[in-house]
Amino acid sequence: MKCLLLANGEYGDITIYYSLVQQMDIVLCADGGANYAYQMGITPDCILGDLDSIDPQVKDYFISQKVLFKEFPPAKDFTDTQLTLELAWELGADEIICLGTLGGRLDHTMANLYSCMEAARQGKKIIHFGPQVTVYMITGPLRLRGRRGDTVSLIVLSEKAEGVTLQNFVYPLTDALLLKENPYAVSNRMADDTAEINLASGVIAVFHYRS
């Protein structure tokens, strides 16, 4: 099942996401992400969080549309995005497309990426879309489609990633060991319109900057 998760980060031109919306089985909003759902004409299945970021008129509108709200106290042990991710997993989502999880506050961006690590280890497909970059959470093979010259960076989220192989890149790797404390696999470039990444173990966030 495909789930669209809308958070309250940066979106840029919201029209670039319209094609994604049409492919989703369920739509969940983390608090202020509901503002963007409203702008895109999407009626979410559920809105979660402490509801301190949602516009009052947007909240009233979705209440009138009988959207399910799950409100949590501001003093809680999990972020709104974490709570929304947990619901997506409970509903059986095996593919989660995240919007608004990148940009804005750096701590929020990092928290959103780290919050997806366990789901990635369980084999769930998780992709974060931003205005200029797409971030893939991977524990295995990934085939990238883009353009020759696209910038691609690999950031290891686990302590290490073993057996990392890059094909069709300007700077290839073969069975390499990448360490979180030494992030040298940044600012690589695709040598063709497609490229492949593989690893034997670990969790990597692949940043693909679109031309």
Place of tokens 């700077």: 171
Q: For all residues of the chain together, what is the average pLDDT? A: 93
Within a domain: 136: no
* φ and ψ at residue 205, rounded to 5 degrees: -100, 120
Q: What is the model's pTM?
A: 0.91
Q: Are residues 94 and 9 in the same domain?
A: yes
Cβ 32 vs Cβ 8: under 8 Å: yes
pLDDT, one tens digit per residue, over 51-89 is 888 999 999 999 999 999 998 887 777 888 889 999 998
- The pair of structure tokens assigned to 40 is 């895109």
Q: Are residues 188 and 102 in the same domain?
A: no
Lowest-confidence region among 12-16, 27-31, 195-199, 204-208: 12-16
Within a domain: 137: no
* Beta strands per DSSP E along the chain: 2-6, 26-30, 46-49, 68-71, 95-99, 125-129, 133-138, 142-145, 151-156, 160-167, 173-179, 188-189, 194-198, 204-209
Q: Are residues 35 and 123 in the same domain?
A: yes
Task: Supply the range of the domain harboring residue 72.
Answer: 2-131
